[in-house]
Amino acid sequence: MTGLKLDVSNVYSFVSEKNILGFRDGAGASLRKLYDKTGAGSDFLGWLDLPSRISDAEIRDIEETAALLRSHAEVIVVVGIGGSYLGARAIISALGSNFEAFDEKLPRLIFAGQNIGEDYLHELLGILDRKSYAIIVISKSGTTTEPAIAFRLLKNHLEAKIGPEEAGRLIVAITDRQKGALRKLADQSGYKTFVIPDDTGGRYSVLTPVGLLPIACAGCDIRRFISGAKSLQEATGAGIRFEDNPSALYAATRNALYQKGKTTEILANYDSRLNYFSEWWKQLYGESEGKENRGIFPASVNFTADLHSMGQYIQEGERRLFETILSVENPHSTLKIPEDAGNLDGLNFLAGKRISEVNKMAELGTLLAHVDGGVPNIRVGIPEISEYHLGELVYFFEKACGISGYLLGVNPFDQPGVEAYKKNMFALLEKPGYEEETKAIRKYLKK
């Protein structure tokens, strides 16, 4: 049974319930396109039944590999970018400590290949000089610039530190089943490998080894994570009534708002551990829907901190936005506000209340203020931050994204615009095969 709850009632003063229900047929048709594989991008629907399809043998292989790496390394470096990194980081950050630098639990997971920062990589190598470490490198091709640069540096460093043979036992490659530079290197070097499924795009891959191995390495229960995703797979299936299908209803509501001119969606949370979950969500929706000069722009804020900055714009800026609130019912800890004899801060009226009660009232007060200020609000609630409920959230948003993309009339499973910057970068770096592009761009820059 799912613990995820969707509440769209705070959009009814902007788009009526009848208007949203008018998307019933369109959402149903979009859902059938997913299951019948008749829509655009149907070659990339492997994620759709993944929670119920992953085998116990696959899970056990991931768990055993994670245990091996954990036993041999103080640090595990996960090399990847985009969907090859954000999903894992989102779940690990959500389940980890707010004060990771002071967490004594080892091994610590560090991420690389998500940028081309020279100082970042230099500082990372400096840390790894003093630590035993393993590498998980994630790339379908092995030639994506950012992770390829990072892996080349890290591979050379690890081999120089402990020797090529021992390094080969501490490098795991998650890559294509048969082809690509990383697959070739892994086969030549004898790396342990896992497969990125051909039918699952990067931003939908958190429930494949791409996400599951790093999550398991962080000590999280991937079986519970998969179980939560499976509960939402069942709760959002093709046979579920539109009004009872949270993914279909969310997709319909955001599209109804988009048609009313609400072109920006802000994902807000009231727990800092969900910050990277917002980053994963932004990639999922930005890369899936931002095409053909259409799509809802995904942004995020972290409350209550951002109420003292972005809160002003949300309250009184242009009325082209709506909010989706990630709401967590129960914290893991109990902490009450103490009584103070002097009461100089005037907070004795809160004495004896839990911090979470104050946070909840801030959440409710903000919702009311924003709705009154012209900002529709959607609420996505989970009982607590746990592997199970994060699995629910991941699948809920993935399914809704597929439905929403089809309602928008775009292919939610490709990303043609991502290649534009790469073409220019390769031309500027004079990559072989880009000679004509190099000439053209240098001529353009001289203007």
Alpha helices in 236-274 (DSSP H): 246-259
Q: What is the DSSP string of 330-342?
A: --SS--BPPP-SS
Neighbours of 77 (CB within 10 A): 27
> Which one from 18, 118, 308, 419 is the annotated catalytic residue?
308
Q: How many residues does the chain have?
A: 447
Active site residue 422: yes
> Which one from 279, 287, 289, 398 is the annotated catalytic residue?
287
Active site residue 308: yes
User: Interior CA angle at 112 toward 102 and 431, to 5°?
Assistant: 160
| Lookup result for tokens 């299951």 | 35
Separation of first and last alpha carbons in the chain: 63
3-state SS class at 433? coil
405 token code pair = 């993309």
Q: Which residues contact 42 (CB under 8 A, 6 or more apart)?
A: 33, 413
Q: What are phi and psi of 52, to 5 degrees?
A: -90, -10
CB 402 within 8 A of CB 241: no
Q: Which residues contact 353 (CB under 8 A, 6 or more apart)?
A: 336, 337
Distance CA 236, CA 17 (A): 20
Neighbours of 261 (CB within 10 A): 10
3-state SS class at 82? helix
Q: Strands 264-269 and 321-328: what pairing?
A: parallel
> Which one from 5, 161, 336, 422 is the annotated catalytic residue?
422
Which residue type sits at 144?
A: T
User: Interior CA angle at 206 toward 201 and 211, to 5°?
Assistant: 120
Burial (0-12, 13-18, 19+ Cβ within 10 Å), 220: buried
225-249: b (≥16 Cβ within 10 Å) or e:
bbebbbbbbebbeeeeebeebbbbb
Torsion angle of the four alpha carbons 355, 357, 362, 366, in this order, in degrees rounded to the nearest 10: 150
Which residue type sits at 360?
A: K
Q: Would you name the residues annotated as active-site residues?
A: 287, 308, 422
